[in-house]
Structure 1
Amino acid sequence: MREFSLMQGEAGVWYGAFPTLLAAGVRHGFSARMGGCSDSQYASLNLALHVDDVNERVLENRRRFAVSLQMDAAALVAVNQIHGDRVLVAAQDDAGKGAFSQAAVLGDADALITDAAELPLAMFFADCVPLLLYDPLCKVLGLAHAGWKGTAQEIGRRTLKRMQETYGTKPEDCWLAIGPSIHPCCYQVGAAVAQQFPAACATRQNESEWQLDLQLANRLQAIAGGVRPDRIMESGVCTCCNRETFFSYRGDNGRTGRMALFASLQEV
């Protein structure tokens, strides 16, 4: 299902969102790169503190983005993303962990889940796949960062399982939104990486290169985990093809900013 809209927020920043989730009470946005105050390779809405941008500019960018989503930037919960499969639970008492300092994040992980209302969770990306899971019955939110390593370790499916174990989520009740990320048209990998994925996800180009479809891999894993195919939404946007709009690690030769997925559950 393709359902993704790019819009300009009240603070002048640009971001994308899925209308179905907005209507269901999930505040969220996948940031574009326009509307911030960073410059050079980080121009302009870099939202990550772990790159070599000026911290004060990053914090101002976070404030602008959060305002546009009607969130409190000071309450953001973030992690140190390590391309693994660890999932952490965020509670109301964790508000602000990672909001102003990378050293103060909740922990090392590549996914966060919560049932706390108005608690904004954050993940950061530059080509890796953003995953947003929502259980509308148990009112549970999950965010995951799925690069090729995380996808190979099934970080999305592990996030779903942790939601089941912690909150009683049933996978068939969940929505999954797959945000802007690099597509197979721009993502060539070697045999060692391609061999870790189903044949349907890796198309051979020549003797040494394959085109890898991380969106399809995450979709197939979600379905195998119990998510209904008709509840999976994709942006259809390749970050590398659209690097004037989104940060792309490959497209910018490794020197670039990071887009973010901010999301929270609205108070009922």
Structure 2
Amino acid sequence: MVHAVHDLRQHAPLVQCITNQVVPQITANALLAAGAAPAMVDTPEEAADFAAIASGLLVNTGSPTAAQYSAMGEAVRGATAAHTPWVLDPVACGGPAARTEFSRDIVTRHPAAVRGNASEVIALDGGVEGGGGRGVDSTDEVDTALQAARSLAKRTDGVIAVSGPRDLIVSTTRASWLTSGDPMMQRVIGTGCSLGALTAAYLGAARTGSGGLTDHDAVLAAHAHVGAAGTLAARDHDGHRRGPGSFAVAWLDALDTVAEDPSVIPGLVSVEETTEETAG
């Protein structure tokens, strides 16, 4: 994970974000704090061309318009042609019918990674257990999405990340359980959407760098970076818990702190690894 952070800072990947209208500034600031470069290019006329030159692409279905749906499709077309890794964040999949249909269709175009909560991942795989959650919030535990994550990993040949109190990252040969972060991250806007963008950044850096990092390693590193920053931001210098407003600012600062000194990550997160052949 430490090497992945160094790669990100060294290569400063350019990440195209087609995302939720509530979070563009937060997402852009998070990318900059971590060491990447944001580009909020979401017009259908430019999306494909820009995806071809970007290091990574985020497709987030948080508040789609007709134009955004078109731009997402065009961006994925451009990314696929240029071998740009792209990340699907299927926000509220399993809820609104149009959004669910779009997410289930576009995931067949082989994203490098999918990042969502348990309800979204279950719904994306075609299951009804999750029911899309409650708005953008999951109503399912991460453990219940394991089979759906495995299924999606096999179908896409990509990495499936399920966010929760303990994150699950699944690829065709590995399953990683990451414990990190703080519950306050669920009480401020943009941490999850920013994680999707940072996942695209880490994938872009891993494919550019010389460290031989797998896509699974890159996705795990993105989650560890965000979670470690959440742990750092949760308390002030006197050890008092922060409220949502001060936490949001402190989390942005902590993303930079972790990027400057990634050696702090192992002390702030824990990872349990299994191989998918023996995962049961």
* TM-score when normalising by structure 2: 0.33
Structure with greater proportional helix content: 2
* TM-score when normalising by structure 1: 0.34
